[in-house]
Amino acid sequence: MRLPLNLAREPMRRDRSILVASAAVGILLCLSLIALVGLAVNDHRVMQESRAVIAQVEKQMGRVNASQAQVDAQLRQPDNASQLYRTELFNTLIHRKAISWTRIFSDLEKVLPHNVRILSIKPQINTKNELSLDMVVAADAPEQVIGFVAKLENSDVFGDVTQTSQIPPTQNDQFYRFHLTVTYDQKL
């Protein structure tokens, strides 16, 4: 028979697995620390490069703004201001002249139902050189104008339609009147 004899002051514990797991976790933490330090250094380098590029762009913007200020000051001089005004006037007249009424009516003829009448058309050019038509149309019933609007929106040359007002029939006028604004894709 064997008697367990332990001469140590404390009994033997099985701590080897805990020590190995703790060492493995410590090594993983050290590796992740090294990876995070590497990422931080790389991020810092990229940020410095970005700051240098931004500083260079801001320097160029400063030069461009200074040049623009000089040009603006020169244009504001009395002799040049009158020439600038004339140039803008001529450009506006050229843009207005570039609108083809024949083409507008030809395109409207393709989408206009027989029971809808166009009472007025006013072409307008916005600051982006986009053309829109400000129209007043009349019909016997609102459904006819709704069909016309649907045809306009499904057309290749006309775009979104905005209705700004509607006037019901009166004793003197038997038609429903609609004020519409439609974008028109006529190249200027």
With 0-12 / 13-18 / 19 or more C-beta atoms within 10 angstroms meaning exposed / middle / buried, residue 33 is exposed
Helix (H/G/I), strand (E/B), else coil: 96: helix
CA distance 118 to 142: 14
Q: What is the pLDDT of residue 68?
A: 94
Domain identity same for 107 and 169: yes
pLDDT at 51 over 80: yes
Q: What percent of the chain has pLDDT over 70?
A: 95
Selected residue with higher pLDDT from 71 and 54: 54
CA distance 147 to 171: 25
Selected residue with higher pLDDT from 171 and 13: 171
Domain identity same for 32 and 71: yes
- Going along 17-112, which residue ranges are E strands? none
pLDDT at 61 over 70: yes
For 93-116, what is the mean pLDDT?
A: 86
- Which of 76, 108, 125 terminates a domain? The answer is 76
Q: Is residue 87 part of a domain?
A: no
Q: What is the dihedral of CA 82, 88, 94, 96, to 10 degrees?
A: -120
Q: pTM for the whole thing? A: 0.52
Domain residues for 178? 100-184
Domain identity same for 106 and 177: yes
Q: Is residue 83 part of a domain?
A: no
Helix (H/G/I), strand (E/B), else coil: 48: helix
pLDDT at 37 over 90: yes
- Which of 76, 92, 112 terminates a domain? The answer is 76
Q: What is the pLDDT of residue 54?
A: 96
The candidate with the shortest Cα–Cα distance to 107, out of 151, 63, 76, is: 151
Radius of gyration in angstroms for the set of CA atoms belonging to the chain, rounded to a whole number: 39
Q: Is residue 81 part of a domain?
A: no
Domain identity same for 69 and 133: no
Are the beta carbons of 161 and 180 closer than 8 angstroms?
yes
